[in-house]
């Protein structure tokens, strides 16, 4: 019984800590400048066709959040958190009608179970790393459940989430 109570208490502390950390780690919504997006997209395009490997962060293979982290770091000197869930939690959310090129697009079961991320490139499309490798595809493809969209602040390059 003591073990069960300790497990419940530990779970509660992790849960509270998760939300406290993420509440203090939110940045403002400032869209990537056109030149930032151009640089980030140029890096992303240069990796089209790279293979997907779970946990990979580049440059020859990526998982989804490894890809978004890599392209923002190389294209705009911005350090993103490592996982899709952490990226979702770290940035100010925007609605789909207000999405801009360079915004992150998140997929999963809910805001608490983000399983995929890509970068919006305009005209309803994104570039992402998935089981087919790095590809361009529709944001609202039937196999994805879009959960939300977030704007990365590129004006404070390399300072937003360096602790992650």
Please list the active-site residues.
Answer: 64, 116, 128
Distance from C-alpha of 107 to C-alpha of 144, rounded to nearest angstrom: 6
Distance from C-alpha of 94 to C-alpha of 127, rounded to nearest angstrom: 18
Distance from C-alpha of 155 to C-alpha of 94, rounded to nearest angstrom: 17
Distance from C-alpha of 28 to C-alpha of 162, rounded to nearest angstrom: 16
Q: For residues 109 and 145, is the Cβ–Cβ distance under 8 A?
A: yes
């Amino acid at each position: 019984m003591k073990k069960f109570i300790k497990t419940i208490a530990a779970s509660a502390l992790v849960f509270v800590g998760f939300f406290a950390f993420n509440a203090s780690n939110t940045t403002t919504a400032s869209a990537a400048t056109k030149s930032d997006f151009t640089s980030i997209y140029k890096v992303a395009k240069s990796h089209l066709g790279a293979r997907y490997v779970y946990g990979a962060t580049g440059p020859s293979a990526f998982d989804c959040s490894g890809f978004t982290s890599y392209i923002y770091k190389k294209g705009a000197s911005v350090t993103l958190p490592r996982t899709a869930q952490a990226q979702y939690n770290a940035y100010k959310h925007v609605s789909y009608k207000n999405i801009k090129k360079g915004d992150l697009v998140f997929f999963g079961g809910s805001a608490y179970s983000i399983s995929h991320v890509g970068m919006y490139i305009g005209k309803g499309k994104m570039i992402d790393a998935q089981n087919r490798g790095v590809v361009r595809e529709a944001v609202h493809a039937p196999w994805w459940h879009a959960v939300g969209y977030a704007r990365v602040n590129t004006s404070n390059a390399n300072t937003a989430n360096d602790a992650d």
